[in-house]
Structure 1
Amino acid sequence: MTPPAPTAKPRPGREADHSTTPLWRAAVLLRVLTLVFAAAVVFAYRHEYARPALAWAVLGAMTAWTVVIALCYLPEHRRWLWFTVLDLVVCCGFMASSRLVLTHDQLTVTGVPLVPTVWVTGVVAVGAVRGGLLAGAGFGIVLGLVNFAVRGYVDTDLSRDMVLLTGVGFVLGMAATSARVSAQRLALALRAEAATAERERLARSIHDSVLQVLARVRKRGMEVGGEAAELARLAGEQEIALRALVSTAPGETSSDGTADLVPRLIVLTTERVQVSAPSTPVLLPDAVGREVVAVVSEALTNVAKHAGPDAKAWVLLEDLPDEVVVSVRDDGLGMAPARLDDAAAEGRMGVAKSIRGRIGELGGTATVTTAPGAGTEWEFHLPKGRTR
């Protein structure tokens, strides 16, 4: 049996930009149509050029370059940034060649069209599609300045051409950027939909098998008592954690590097830990979100170790206009308010480094409220726009 032919794979670290492929094709088509117009102009003015043979030679070079850019811009893996800049330089060179084809009077007085005419406007479209609105506007400005330099003067008509080139580049660049953003959002939505469907499938499977077994172990263990009661308690905690895990949307990172903090905290739910969070996403930079979860996990670990065997904890996430606030409160034994400062002064830096140090590095603040017999409450404030 003949093995299937290997399929082409994109280079590592480089993904094909399918969202702007129609715009690239339109830019190549524009270059072809404007080349036909340039050929018609050269034919119409063939008797007026000072060097008609050179004009036909420039037109031939423009035709060859149009073929080259079509070969480079149509395949998705050849749309190199350096080649787009080279395309701009070549187009400016074709515009400058008109000084050899036309006389000074033809350039400044009679206003005979340059040999490339509107053909060079295609590179503005290419720059806009490749680099966005600023690149498109920049390409238009460069062509306008070169047009001034070739003509040797500035008037209303040339200024109008420059404004049109800049405006077209800006609008096309905005369209290309919008296409990329829309494609990224669609891809994220499709991944989220697929992840939700898979999570629901797993939830049904787990509910019919694992969760039922854990529930039965917890029930029988509590009935038997003794050492089995401890197993029942552990089975109950795992049942709650597993239910929270399969019922929570995945915390994926978006295209701008942010992630929803809500699902990352919800999975910390156990029999002794309750998590309350908004129903809407609370977006933070992905690295910041991971650090916040690590800090909350450390605080919950301290509750399990020091708050007492029957202590419970509550995690509250608040999304305020200017900051994100995370509170971790327990009803355990508590401690003297100065105990943490005394421990840091004695060289025991566990809480100072793992909690206060981490929040401080993120640009936030961590405060603790505690008293003997009154439990402990940590409150973490992360100002929006200042988290690092």
Structure 2
Amino acid sequence: MGERLSGSGHPTDDDPATPLWRGTIVLRILTFLFAIGVFAVHDADYARPWLGWPVIGVMAAWTAFTAFCYGRQAGRRAWVVVADLVLTCGLMTTSLVILTPEQLIRPAPLITTVWACGPVVSAAVYGGRTFGMVAGVIVAVFNVGVRGYFNTDMARDTVLLVGVGVVIGMASQTARRSAEQLRQALRTEAATAERERLARSIHDGVLQVLARVRRRGAELGGEAAELANLAGAQEIALRALVSAAAPESTMDGEVDVRGQLQLLVTPRVQVSVPATQVMLPAAAVAELAAVVTEALSNVDKHAGEAARAWVLLEDLGDEVVISIRDDGPGIPEGRLAAAAAEGRMGVAKSMRGRVAGLGGTLVLSTGPGEGTEWEVRLPRQESPKRRGKGT
């Protein structure tokens, strides 16, 4: 994400993890000051203290550089985080020539001391808990490798490094997820408000005109009655449009099935949906809408002009059921097989194929004079978020 301009024309930082980046900068500065103090205390004991001061200088320069990068959204790049990890591990290895063998075993602090935890925190803030855990393991491995042994103290440092990476990574992921949910809620609120405003405008204008044309045309009869029927059909369709549930998606890419089905309302088609949201993956909703549209298209083609259809949406928790029923003459036995043999694959591919691709089932109930009913059953594959709520 890039920087945005505020109302005053100054760039703003819209990264939700910005407070964590600032904390990383403060931690890097504090640990660097601690490293200077440790080096000053042990200066006389080092095997090659004259090599230590150049290392301290590099640490100072890198601390300033990372503070500059991490303080700006444009500077928080993967290569900076990787370079931070590589350079820190490299500086840790200089302890092999700066410290005496006795200091490595005692042990005395490495030349980098706690400053070495910096890349673990920055990797966690940048990439989440996995990045933080990997960075913690790498720094811990170099810590053990430089020392040349593994004991309780080394185990404690390893646990702390990996733990810090995991905890800070989880915090950064949570911050970004919460910010995205807030942005989504604000977008939905704004869209709903605009939809309600348009609905009021349409109701006060277009719908009233259509209703008046329908009533007056029916009174006049003749060609005016035909216009009245057309106006009535458009009135119903427009009412369905403005009353349909607003499109809404979650971070998991789920949308409400109800909105897609409510748009199919016509003078001959009634749609019944639950009062609460029925959320499914967006791709599944598009496929289900196509299946229902194909079924209603068959009603128009084969059930007669007077036939009516009903669409019922049910949310049974572990599965979603859609029923499409009409009061037409029904489908004669063998008709679907004959249509498939003739190359007309509307039912075989457009309906059965779509439902099978979603992992659902499509059941047909029909008979001469009994109308036709299609029942679509789609098992709901729970998202990690939904599974977490159930535990």
149-158 or 338-347, larger mean C-alpha shift: 338-347
Residue 166 (structure 1) aligned with residue 156 (structure 2): no
Q: What does 1:148-187 align with in structure 2 at a 5 Å threshold?
A: 148-187=144-183
Q: What does 1:2-41 align with in structure 2 at a 5 Å threshold?
A: 18-41=15-38
* SS of residue matched to 1:253: coil
What one-letter code is carried by the residue in structure 1 that aligns with 2:111? V
The alignment yields a C-alpha RMSD, in angstroms, of 1.9
What one-letter code is carried by the residue in structure 2 that aligns with 1:157? D
* SS of residue matched to 1:47: helix
CA distance in 2, matches of 1:308, 1:386: 41
Residue equivalent to 1:12:
none
Cα offset, 1:237, TM superposition: 2.0
* SS of residue matched to 2:16: helix
Offset from partner CA, 1:248-281 (integer Å, 9 cap, x none): 3322333222211111111212222111122222
Q: TM-score by structure 2 length?
A: 0.91
Offset from partner CA, 1:67-126 (integer Å, 9 cap, x none): 221222222133222332221111111111111111111101x31111110111121111
Residue equivalent to 2:209:
213
Cα offset, 1:35, TM superposition: 0.8
CA distance in 1, matches of 2:373, 2:265: 17
Distance 1:320-1:17 versus aligned 2 partners, 3 A rule: farther
Residue equivalent to 1:360:
356
CA distance in 1, matches of 2:28, 2:74: 20
Distance 1:375-1:244 versus aligned 2 partners, 3 A rule: same
- Indicate if the aligned counterparts of 1:214 and 1:235 stay in contact, CA closer than 8 A: yes
Name the % identity.
Answer: 57
CA distance in 2, matches of 1:126, 1:208: 57
CA distance in 2, matches of 1:78, 1:250: 39
296-305 or 377-386, larger mean C-alpha shift: 377-386
Q: Which residue, out of 97, 100, 115, partners 1:100?
A: 97
Q: Which residue, out of 29, 52, 56, partners 2:53?
A: 56
Residue equivalent to 1:111:
107
What one-letter code is carried by the residue in structure 2 that aligns with 1:367? V
Cα offset, 1:216, TM superposition: 0.7
Structure 2 gap segments, 5+ residues each? 7-12, 384-391
- Indicate if the aligned counterparts of 2:269 and 2:310 stay in contact, CA closer than 8 A: yes
Distance 1:89-1:175 versus aligned 2 partners, 3 A rule: same
Q: Which residue, out of 252, 255, 261, partners 2:248?
A: 252
Cα offset, 1:283, TM superposition: 1.8
* SS of residue matched to 1:310: coil
Distance 1:44-1:134 versus aligned 2 partners, 3 A rule: same
Structure 1 gap segments, 5+ residues each? 1-6, 10-15
- Indicate if the aligned counterparts of 2:294 and 2:346 stay in contact, CA closer than 8 A: no
Residue 70 (structure 1) aligned with residue 67 (structure 2): yes
- Indicate if the aligned counterparts of 1:251 and 1:261 stay in contact, CA closer than 8 A: no
Q: What does 1:1-388 align with in structure 2 at a 5 Å threshold?
A: 18-108=15-105, 110-385=106-381
Q: TM-score by structure 1 length?
A: 0.92
Aligned residues: 374
CA distance in 2, matches of 1:79, 1:365: 49
CA distance in 1, matches of 2:40, 2:197: 69
Cα offset, 1:8, TM superposition: 7.1
Offset from partner CA, 1:299-358 (integer Å, 9 cap, x none): 112112221212111111122233221111111222213211221123222221221122
* SS of residue matched to 1:113: coil
- Indicate if the aligned counterparts of 1:27 and 1:126 stay in contact, CA closer than 8 A: yes
- Indicate if the aligned counterparts of 1:132 and 1:176 stay in contact, CA closer than 8 A: yes
249-258 or 147-156, larger mean C-alpha shift: 249-258
- Indicate if the aligned counterparts of 1:337 and 1:369 stay in contact, CA closer than 8 A: no
